[in-house]
Structure 1
């Protein structure tokens, strides 16, 4: 089981002080937070991609490349790579390069984003969001798994005899999660390729995501990648902690009330009841997170949002200390003990190499069996 944090990189005024960080301060804070995540023993740090205010991570590869150089163990990920508005060729090359720099400590989460104006800024039509996501990833997958690619599609110029460079490390592409909060087509895509499905269920009730995840698991098995409960599932979440639960509520309320996206909307109490947001003691965070397995089955990755809404860096670092010391060790022990042996751990570069070798061995065995059958038929 992998535990980590993700950031959307918002630049938001602290409602308790009226101070707004500069873009430079926010960028440097995110880099500090990423290194702190490794220090406290988390498994994953994930960074979003945005091209609109108030968000600043417009170049995830640049920031993750820096983090790769400053860390040794933590897995680096995007918490959305915009598969719709980025050129798949550029994604293939940029993230293969980053995979080499990070010595394999890299995976991606593909998504369409939730900001309509981004599409025309990059010459795309938001009405083609799903077709763009499907076609662009089909090309990206081929660029990473085939050395020489001929390609003709609807949304980009054709390719003839093209090889993206560098090639993926050890011949194994970065693991891909397909993120979606509403689209069964994306769950189907993840299942078709045997990739992961990430449900960032931080805004809506769990019942909506239960249907999406169940559909993904069913289709994962349909395509022959394993049993439904062996599919790769990741979940999002949000937490804010204090030793005393009422202190946590009092401290977090002004940030919640003024947060981008959901600020000035539902009350903190209503939102925590309807979504996975947990504001309280570390034990309350543990108890709430353990219910995710009851709702969605065994899963491989849990990411928490902890640095948004204007929370000062000092507070975020204190939150990470509590997460790493008091929460994650308990969650890891409890969830790993309950996970059946046939359900895979969270994906890593090493596990993907093993998966590739097992697939190659199975394919070789099929060829050998077919040859033996043909020989028997000839002999008869």
Structure 2
């Protein structure tokens, strides 16, 4: 089981002071959080990709390359890479390059994003979002696995005898998660390729995501990749913790009430009841996170959103200390307890290289 954090990189005013960080401060804060994530024992750091204010992470590979040079074991990921508006050839080459620089500590999450205008900014039609996601990933998948590619599709110029460079490290491409909050077509796509499915269920009630994950697991087995229980699932979550639950609620409430994504809507109490958001003590965070397995089955990756809504860097660093010292050890122990032996661990480059070598040896 892998645990980590993801960031959307929003530049939001602190509602308690009225001050917003500069873009420079926010970018530097994100890389500080990545280094802190490794320090406290987390496994994964993931950054979003956005091309509009108030967000700053428009170049995930640049940021992750910087972090790779300053960390040793942290898996570097995205949340998400825009498969609809990025050229698959550029994704193939950029992330293979990052994979080499990070010695394999790279995977990525494919998604369509949540900003409609990004489509025309990059010359695409939002009405073609699902077909773009399907076709572009089919090309990316082939580019990483075939040394010479001939390709013709609907949405880009054909390729003839093309080789993307560099080739994936050790002949094994980065692991891919397909992220979706609403589209069964994306769950189907993840299942077809035997890739991971990430349900960032931080906004909608769990019943919706139970249906998506259930579909993915069923179709994963249908395509012959394993049993439904062996499908590779990742989940989102949100935490704000203090030693005393009342202190956590009192401190976080103004950030929640004014957050661009969910402020001025349901109350904090309603939101924590219906979604994965935990605002309380470390024990409450542990107890709620453990219910995710009851709802979705054994899974492989848990990422928490902790640095949004204008929370100051100092506060988020304190949150990561609590997560690493008081919450993470218990979650690791409890999620490991009773986990079936045939349920896979979270994907790593080393494990995937070893699996490929075993397959090669068995076929010769």
TM-score class, shorter-chain normalisation, is over 0.9
Is the partner of 1:303 in helix, strand or coil?
Answer: strand
Give me the whole-angstrom Cα distance separating, in 1, the residues matched to 2:44 and 2:329: 14
**1:205-216 → structure 2 map (5 Å cutoff):** 205-216=205-216
- Give the aligned partner of residue 351 of structure 2: 351
Is the partner of 1:338 in helix, strand or coil?
Answer: coil
Q: How many residues align?
A: 364
Is the partner of 2:51 in helix, strand or coil?
Answer: coil
Deviations 1:300-319 (A, max 9, x none): 00000000000000000000
The CA deviation at 1:260 is: 1.7
Give me the whole-angstrom Cα distance separating, in 1, the residues matched to 2:231 and 2:352: 14
Give me the whole-angstrom Cα distance separating, in 2, the residues matched to 1:274 and 1:342: 32
Give me the whole-angstrom Cα distance separating, in 1, the residues matched to 2:359 and 2:213: 25
Residue 136 (str. 1) matches residue 136 (str. 2)? yes
Residue 97 (str. 1) matches residue 97 (str. 2)? yes
**1:88-127 → structure 2 map (5 Å cutoff):** 88-127=88-127
The CA deviation at 1:361 is: 4.3
- Give the aligned partner of residue 226 of structure 1: 226
Deviations 1:79-122 (A, max 9, x none): 10000000000000000000000000000000000110000000
Deviations 1:298-357 (A, max 9, x none): 000000000000000000000000001100110001101121100010000011112323
Is the partner of 1:212 in helix, strand or coil?
Answer: helix
- Give the aligned partner of residue 164 of structure 2: 164
- Give the aligned partner of residue 325 of structure 1: 325
Give me the whole-angstrom Cα distance separating, in 1, the residues matched to 2:260 and 2:346: 31
Deviations 1:117-145 (A, max 9, x none): 00000000000000000000000000000
**1:1-380 → structure 2 map (5 Å cutoff):** 1-362=1-362, 364=363
The CA deviation at 1:358 is: 3.6
Stretches of structure 1 that go unaligned for 5 or more consecutive residues are 366-380
Is the partner of 2:49 in helix, strand or coil?
Answer: coil
Give me the whole-angstrom Cα distance separating, in 1, the residues matched to 2:3 and 2:301: 6
Deviations 1:160-180 (A, max 9, x none): 000000000000000000000
Give me the whole-angstrom Cα distance separating, in 2, the residues matched to 1:205 and 1:358: 41
Stretches of structure 2 that go unaligned for 5 or more consecutive residues are none
TM-score, length basis structure 1 = 0.95
Give me the whole-angstrom Cα distance separating, in 1, the residues matched to 2:242 and 2:194: 40
Give me the whole-angstrom Cα distance separating, in 2, the residues matched to 1:211 and 1:9: 29
The CA deviation at 1:197 is: 0.1
Q: Whose radius of gyration is greater, 1 or 2? A: 1
TM-score, length basis structure 2 = 0.99
Give me the whole-angstrom Cα distance separating, in 1, the residues matched to 2:321 and 2:3: 14
The CA deviation at 1:60 is: 0.3
CA RMSD, 1 decimal: 0.8
Give me the whole-angstrom Cα distance separating, in 2, the residues matched to 1:157 and 1:306: 41
The CA deviation at 1:359 is: 3.4
Is the partner of 1:235 in helix, strand or coil?
Answer: strand
Give me the whole-angstrom Cα distance separating, in 1, the residues matched to 2:206 and 2:360: 38
